[in-house]
A and B are shown apart, each in its own frame.
Chain A
Amino acid sequence: MNNIFTNNIKKIEFDALIVGGGGSGMRASLELAKSGLKTAVVSKVFPTRSHTVSAQGGITCAIASADPNDDWRWHMYDTVKGADFIGDQDAIEYLCSEGPKAVFELEHMGLPFSRFENGRIYQRPFGGQSKDFGKGGQAARTCAAADRTGHALLHTLYQNNVKEGTNFLNEWFAVDLVKNSKDEVTGVIAFSIENGEVAYLKAQATVLATGGAGRIYASTTNALINTGDGLAMALRAGFPAQDMEMWQFHPTGIYGAGSLVTEGCRGEGGFLINKDGERFMERYAPNVKDLAGRDVVARSMVLEILEGRGCGENNDHIYLKLDHLGAEVLNSKLPGICELSRTFAHVDPVYEPIPVVPTCHYMMGGTPTNISGQAFSRINDQDYLIPGLFSAGEAACVSVHGANRLGGNSLLDLVVFGRATGKHIQSELKSGGGVESATKSDIDNSLERLNKLNESSNGFDPADVKKELQECMQNYFGVFRRGEFMQKGLDQLNELKEKVDNLHLKDKSDAFNTSRVEAIELQNLFEVAESTAVSAFKRTESRGAHARDDYPDRDDENWLCHTIYDPITKEVSKRGVNFEPNKVEAFPPKVRTY
């Protein structure tokens, strides 16, 4: 892959192009493929290798199976509260009210949900769930396929895309967006990982469905491929990111390995203990204990460890106790967890507790979109829709998760908004919408980064730089944050910027060159990390997953708002939260306790 010029690359045209073959991407593509529009999914891995496959516990939705009186408004209340009141209420309303339709569709497609005796879909309790707007006790609202719900969901979506004849460009890597002179998005530059062929994938609608970027941290539950490629492409194109300081640390990542242990373990009756065997969540969340919001549980665990009550030789982790549930429950309801703990923690949960520690899990922020998946930028403090650009799933910030996502809401998010995005694009394109073509120099701009890497004859080693970046984020932007430490982190990121811009790609070959992929992924991680750091430093309060030692309280007067990070000026501005749902009264902010 020598210097590449626009004149000698192939152009492939589509109506709609989905970047990313995970849950949201394949839900969008399914909608579009059925409509007859020429649709393609470009994915850097074979679609069933996408990170949706790792989701375990389930998809939260008021389908009224465990409780025939369940109500989507209760789910909405929980989600608004879980988000610590900066989730947009119009979007949350859409998520919760459309959810049942989207879940039943998945079942009709063949998703092998677990079942209750009456034949309906099995639902289990998850954290932050309540009946009757918090007044009716714990709800069981998370629809599950054992503890392999993500796997079942992703494979079902892939299977149905095969059925509908979706075009897949598998193991193609999207490098950068192509913009025309009017700042409209007209597709992406991508290359085939298999043979290095570079192409301009032109589309009337480009959907970023590239998932999260948990790999900005040294310790994460995320797959190695979660490098925020789509969000980084949008940032490089000058488009903003929203709420990037909001990263969820999952309470139960396996100590040392980082693999996820589903919240469903606690939903089924498991609980956390410290080194004295004390069920400490009774002190922090007296009502719902281990099923408080993830941010609350994660912070409680870190406090236990900091106060010397952690488990193990170094008092640096917590135990998740499951043995009292018995072998039968564990093997039928949580078989995947038993397998994972035997492999990665060398313990059998039937007999021993699992060593766990809060681990980076989910990016609540992302490319801001409306409920139709249309991405927008901010001009003069107004939302301005970006023609041709869409986003859905973890890559997007619609924002239904606000400052803290509830367990089981990510799978619902990706099917509901993947579907909505597909539907919107279909109606937009069928009514004649679209974008103007890009010129040669527009395309040249998007080839710049790839060419620079291919020409590098010296510079920094990507593997070293990646480690530095991940350590920096882990040290200064973790579960607890403080201004002075974050300043150190920002300084270090400034130094890293120089290195990230001058990576040395030693291997220039074309055939399945994973070094090239990893170098570009590192640059993507940096974009996401920088936006996270700047936004976190700016928000001088504690809310949801963003907990600051130096500003321990929530500050509704100043910060009941989204943050918008501008990648060009590297400044953060505020954007109002939507408090105008259509079918119900808005839920006003109140003190958040569990």
Chain B
Amino acid sequence: MFGNKLQVNLYRYNPEEDKFPYMKKYVIEKPKRDIMILDLLHLLKEEDQSISYRRSCREGVCGSDGMNINGKNGLACITPISSVVKRNKIELRPLPGLPVIRDLVVDMTEFYAQYEKIKPFLQNETTAPEQERLQSPEERDKLDGLYECILCACCSTSCPSFWWNPDKFVGPAALLQAYRFLADSRDLKTEERLEALSDPFSVYRCHGIMNCVNVCPKGLNPNKAIGEIKSMLHKNKKDIIVTDGV
């Protein structure tokens, strides 16, 4: 029925006009070549200026355009239509679990607050050498798969634990960064970092659901990093008990 047409169901909400959000149906000519979801949004916006979404680098490195595409979080700019279209239909919604500002734009305040909470910066108060601090390639390798995070929030907003406790559970994105600094041979605040994560919520609300791994557009594995943190916390706790015993 939609042989040459593509139906896009788009989540619309403008707080100045709409009491409730709604899905709006757009039917367009099917693009001749495979384009990205972001290109598709550009086409729609040319027809309807009022559609709102974030975008910047359009190549998957800035993390602006995370959204829910046919039920799965991803980056619009590196998701080809062909990989998601089902029966000529595509459904676009904002990232789940965060307040919607307008259309596909969500309020990321809570997400960023969790990021800031883990002190996402290197802490090393020893006097810096005149040149760089040395780090072996093996030590540096430990940061691979961690530092590449683009803060798109695809993972945290696909996580039921984060939906439930966005204020208390740090969430996969920020925990990945917490581990990025725990794993850095140059950072000296391991104890303090672990202490700050040792409450029942910050890390332990992760139940290994793995949605984060499933959706990460950069192919990163927050679940693994969380596992590493948990084992560091565990080890740390034992150390404390031993010390107490002495």
Contact = CB atoms under 8 A, between A and B. Distances in A.
A388 to B, nearest CB: 29
A339 B228 CA distance: 26
B1 interface: no
Contacts of B135: 115, 119
Given A51-B57, A152-B147, A512 B136 contact: no
A257 B126 CA distance: 46
B62 A509 contact: no
B165 interface: no
Nearest to A100: B131
Nearest to A155: B147
A115 B186 contact: no
Given A155-B147, A224-B55, A110 B49 contact: no
B88 interface: no
A151 B150 contact: yes
Given A45-B64, A151-B150, A107 B55 contact: no
A167 interface: no
Interface of B: 14-17, 45-46, 49-50, 52-64, 78, 101-103, 105, 108, 112, 116, 119-122, 124, 128, 130-137, 139-140, 143-144, 147-148, 150-151, 181, 184, 186-187
B140 A114 contact: yes
A48 B131 contact: no
A361 to B, nearest CB: 14
Contacts of A340: 59-60
Contacts of A155: 147
| CB-CB nearest 9 A-B residue pairs | A110-B122, A119-B134, A107-B132, A159-B121, A512-B102, A49-B62, A515-B49, A163-B121, A49-B56
B127 to A, nearest CB: 10
A129 interface: no
Interface of A: 45-46, 48-51, 53-54, 63, 65, 103-104, 107-110, 112-121, 145-146, 148, 151-152, 155, 159-160, 162-163, 194, 223-225, 257, 259-260, 336, 339-340, 343-344, 463, 505-507, 509-515
Contacts of B54: 45, 49
Nearest to A515: B49
B49 A49 contact: no
Contacts of A50: 56, 62
Given A63-B132, A511-B102, A48 B147 contact: no
B218 to A, nearest CB: 8
Contact of B132 (A113, A463, A515): A113
Contacts of A114: 137, 140
29 contacts: A45-B54, A45-B64, A46-B112, A49-B54, A49-B62, A51-B56, A53-B61, A54-B62, A65-B132, A104-B132, A107-B132, A108-B122, A112-B140, A112-B147, A115-B140, A116-B137, A146-B144, A148-B148, A194-B101, A223-B58, A224-B55, A224-B58, A257-B59, A339-B60, A343-B59, A344-B59, A506-B49, A511-B15, A511-B101
A50 B62 CA distance: 7
A512 B101 contact: yes
B136 A119 contact: yes
A512 B52 contact: yes
Nearest to B115: A162
A276 B151 CA distance: 44
A225 B52 CA distance: 15
B56 A224 contact: yes
Contacts of A108: 122, 124, 128, 132-133
A63 B131 contact: yes
A151 B116 contact: no
A84 B124 CA distance: 43
Contact of B120 (A121, A162, A224, A343): A162
Given A224-B55, A343-B60, A506-B50, 11 more contacts: A46-B64, A48-B150, A112-B147, A115-B136, A115-B137, A146-B144, A160-B121, A339-B60, A344-B59, A509-B14, A512-B101
A120 B184 CA distance: 15
Contact of A162 (B52, B121, B128): B121
A336 B62 CA distance: 13
A48 B148 CA distance: 12
A159 B120 contact: yes
Contacts of A257: 59
B186 A110 contact: yes
A206 to B, nearest CB: 23
A472 B148 CA distance: 37
A109 B122 contact: yes
A151 B143 CA distance: 14
